[in-house]
Amino acid sequence: MIDFLQQLNDVQRQAVQTTEGPVMVLAGAGSGKTRVITYRIAYLIGEENVAPHQILALTFTNKAANEMRQRVDELLHSGSSRGLWIGTFHSIFARLLRNYIHLIGYDGNFSIYDSDDSKSLIRQVMKELNIPVDAVPVNTVQGIISKAKNSFILPDQFHAQASDYNGQKAAQIYEVYVRKLRENNALDFDDLLIKPLELFQAQPAVLEQLQHYFRYILIDEYQDTNKAQYLVAKSLAAKHRNIFVVGDDAQSIYSWRGADITNILNFQDDYPEASVFKLVENYRSTQTILQAANGVIKRNRRQIEKELVSRQSSGEPLTLLESFNEKREAEKVGEYIRTWKLTKGFDYKDFAVFYRTNAQSRVLEDIFRMDRIPYRIFGSVSFYKRKEIKDAVAYLRFIRNDQDTESLLRIINFPPRKIGEVSIGKLRDYALTNNSSLYEAILKAEEADFPARLRNALQGFIAVIEQLKDIAKEGSVYDVLSALYESTGITSLLQAENTPESMARYENLQELLSMARDFSDHNEGTNGLNDFLNGISLATDYEEVQEDDNYVSLMTVHAAKGLEFPVVFITGLEERLFPLNYYESDELEEERRLFYVAVTRAQQKVFLSWAKSRYYYGQPQTCMKSMFIDEVDSSILITESGKKQSNGSVSEKKQSIERCNGRTPVPSSVSKSGGNSSSDERSSGLKSGTRVHHAMFGPGIVLSVQGTGERQKAKIKFRNVGEKTLMVQYANLTFEQ
């Protein structure tokens, strides 16, 4: 037996040595997942004498692939990984396609289009089809096509399934887009996943050859695979059935990227003879932290049961921080960081602060700058450096100072007004000739010999600027920013785009509006706009990392996956924020998995934090603490004073959900019995025609109600976003008065 196997625990060793047949390793957080994969590869090569080229190892990042290859070489004390097929799904499939894609009509020297190339081609297709980009945003189309490809839905099938307006337009674009890619001998990133499937269907002999070649297939992070990745892996493994997958269903948090949790949940259905190993020994966290995580995740219905056990001591209880508002919450986090650094010997780098949405970083950044706590934003950029924030702030700067040419150039075509570089060049020449500022040249556009189209676009821009100037004379910063969003439609455009990226930008702009409202509420009678912008300028000049690499890490929970820190703060634990607005049980379960990931990043201590009020979309709102806090075992949860936390039941908490805006809460339906539509309606008081309000979607009218009890759903037509089907129990609707 190879000596390095002694470095594994019993379950890890068994998984490594079970080399024949399908194997699933359920690797809980901090249980040594990567070690099992690399040791198995080394064992196959060093002990079973498997040729490296017969091993295919698929990962999701180049970093993971490189680390695995390096570890294999270290274990075998040689360059034994030479010939090993190890890399990301995209890189490995691209390599295969270079050799075989000529068999399905492409040249092996195909181009690979990145996201920008793809968008450019989509715009070209939309122009040919006379579909205006303001009717269906390019990013929306790209997202719809990408989702279809990842689910291996080709144009004909997608066209048959398209129901709404966006889907029908996207179906037309999808068909032509695919044809254009082929004409250009190009593939986009999603094609790298689906073209192998097309190849296998068209050329069974190639599939048989590859099945024979790859005797052993290993897949990392199997819970994150999409349908296309699943189908390719299943096809390649069909001959030898030596497929080895490692993952954790409890850490499946990327459904919005196309990840399909059923791939790991149904592994034993695909391979009834599979050996299953559960890695539950956690080498990272204390037993108390794991007890909290175990207690919450067990409430999910769709899961493979397991319970993590720590190799460490029980450790400290979790601490619950309760604050009046989000500013006080950030202050408390900063206070605990400074105190623990001074009294317990921690460095700044030992602390991480997690939040559910990127927009939440703003108040934390403001407080940390004020308190001189060095920090770094992971997975994003500092709030004030985000493009949409810089664009909105540029408007504010320009209405204060219309000589500011840099701000003018930033906003003149935002949102798009078809004022391109050629038009700007003409304006510059006119300004130079008439010895005026660029904005003065714009104001005199009617006198100049500019094309009518440009004059009309400039008049629209002038109308916006002058309106905002008038509001700024008497109104608050909040009034100005609200008018900016309304007159330019920038927030509506982002909502219409409806992609994860656009909604993140939308949330950031709403956070800026909340900041403006907070500022306006507390700075009456001051030179509001100047002071507001001065504060932003100082914040923008702040250097995030000030003390070498010793800084607090700020990030969303999604960005935290795969990382670990001695002390973790999970902030914004409020209903509708974390869990984020969820409408179906599957979405709620993913939110719970996200909370599980957050808790299990901590090695020694977890702080759970929530605020009783928070600015949402520029308005102060009463908040209710997250159900996830109540799901933590109360015996291991203490308050700031050190007392045990007494948690109320989720049902009790739901009864007091709405105490703001003067609206009446829609009762949570609790009946478990079935019934006809009238009983469905009586269980919650909802019926067709009822006018309701939702925190994010705004006012709406109920179209229909289905089911009773916990499974009751309501189909609602919202004024701003169209039709949505929501789970009544979790939607937190209120009756409109």
Residue indicated by tokens 């995209």: 90
> How would DSSP label each residue in 418-478?
S--HHHHHHHHHHHHHTT--HHHHHHTGGGTT--HHHHHHHHHHHHHHHHHHHHHHHS-HH
- Residue 80: what pLDDT? 67
- Beta carbons within 10 angstroms of residue 99's beta carbon: 11
For residues 652-672, average pLDDT: 43
Averaged confidence pLDDT in the chain? 86
Strand duo 602-616 + 619-622: pairing: antiparallel
Strand duo 552-556 + 351-355: pairing: parallel
Tell me the pLDDT tens digit for each residue of 512-521. 999 998 888 8
- Residue 359: what pLDDT? 92
Residues 6 or more apart in contact with residue 67 via CB below 8 angstroms: 34, 38
The residue type of 197 is L
**Which has the higher per-residue pLDDT, 608 or 705?**
608
Tell me the pLDDT tens digit for each residue of 201-215. 999 999 999 999 999
Burial 276-300 (b: 16+ CB within 10 A, else e): ebbbbbbebbbbbbbbbbbbbbeeb
Binding-site annotation, residues for ATP: 27-34
Q: Is 220 labeled as catalytic in the residue annotation? A: yes
Q: Report whether pLDDT(27) > 60.
A: yes
- What distance in Å separates the CA atoms of residue 643 and residue 637, rounded to the nearest whole number? 8
Q: Is 257 labeled as catalytic in the residue annotation? A: no
| DSSP type of residue 600 | T
Q: Which of 188, 190, 191, 220 is catalytic?
A: 220
**Which has the higher per-residue pLDDT, 552 or 699?**
552
**Which has the higher per-residue pLDDT, 160 or 9?**
9
Q: Where are the beta strands (DSSP E) in 156-249?
A: 186-188, 216-219, 243-247
Binding-site annotation, residues: 27-34
Q: Report whether pLDDT(509) > 90.
A: yes
Choosing among 3.40.50.300, 1.10.486.10, 1.10.1510.10, 3.40.50.2300, the CATH entry for 385-542 is 1.10.486.10
The residue type of 658 is E
Most confident of 60-74, 128-142, 183-197, 574-588: 183-197
Can you tell me whether residue 483 is helix, strand or coil? helix
* pLDDT > 90: percent of the chain: 50
Q: Which of 40, 356, 601, 605 is catalytic?
A: 601
- Residue 376: what pLDDT? 92
- Residue 525: what pLDDT? 58
Compute, in degrees rounded to 10, the torsion defined by CA atoms 364, 617, 584, 165. -130
Q: Is 251 labeled as catalytic in the residue annotation? A: yes
- Residue 527: what pLDDT? 61
Residues 6 or more apart in contact with residue 30 via CB below 8 angstroms: 282, 283, 284, 285, 308, 564, 600
Can you tell me whether residue 704 is helix, strand or coil? strand
| Domain 309-374+546-639 class, CATH top level | alpha beta
Q: How confident is the model at residue 611 (pLDDT cuts 50, 70, 90)?
A: very high
The answer to whether the CB of 228 falls within 8 A of the CB of 222 is no
Q: Which of 33, 40, 195, 397 is catalytic?
A: 33
Can you tell me whether residue 167 is helix, strand or coil? helix
* pLDDT > 70: percent of the chain: 90
Tell me the pLDDT tens digit for each residue of 674-696. 334 444 444 567 888 788 887 66
Q: Which of 14, 17, 34, 725 is catalytic?
A: 34
Tell me the pLDDT tens digit for each residue of 464-508. 999 999 998 888 899 999 999 999 988 888 888 888 888 889 999
Q: Report whether pLDDT(254) > 80.
A: yes
The architecture in CATH of the region 111-184 reads Orthogonal Bundle (1.10)
Instruction: Check for a shared fold between 4-98+195-279 and 309-374+546-639.
Output: yes
- Residue 697: what pLDDT? 67
Report domain extents, the chain: 4-98+195-279, 111-184, 309-374+546-639, 385-542, 690-735
- What distance in Å separates the CA atoms of residue 737 and residue 733, rounded to the nearest whole number? 13
CB pairs under 8 A, 24+ apart, for 525-533?
A: 528/476, 528/477, 529/396, 529/399, 529/400, 529/472, 529/477, 529/480, 530/400, 532/396, 532/477, 533/393, 533/396, 533/397, 533/400
Q: Which of 188, 191, 221, 589 is catalytic?
A: 221
Q: φ, ψ for residue 325 (rounded to 5)?
A: -150, 180
Q: Is 643 labeled as catalytic in the residue annotation? A: no
Q: Report whether pLDDT(156) > 90.
A: no
Q: Report whether pLDDT(698) > 80.
A: no
Q: State the DSSP H helix or E strand holding residue 728, giving kind and residue range, or none if neither.
A: helix 728-731
The CATH T-level fold of domain 4-98+195-279 is Rossmann fold (3.40.50)
Can you tell me whether residue 607 is helix, strand or coil? strand
| DSSP type of residue 711 | G
Token pair listed for 24? 């699933």
The residue type of 555 is M
- Comparing CA positions, the residue from 265, 271, 287, 269 lying closest to residue 590 is 265
Q: Which of 54, 88, 225, 251 is catalytic?
A: 251
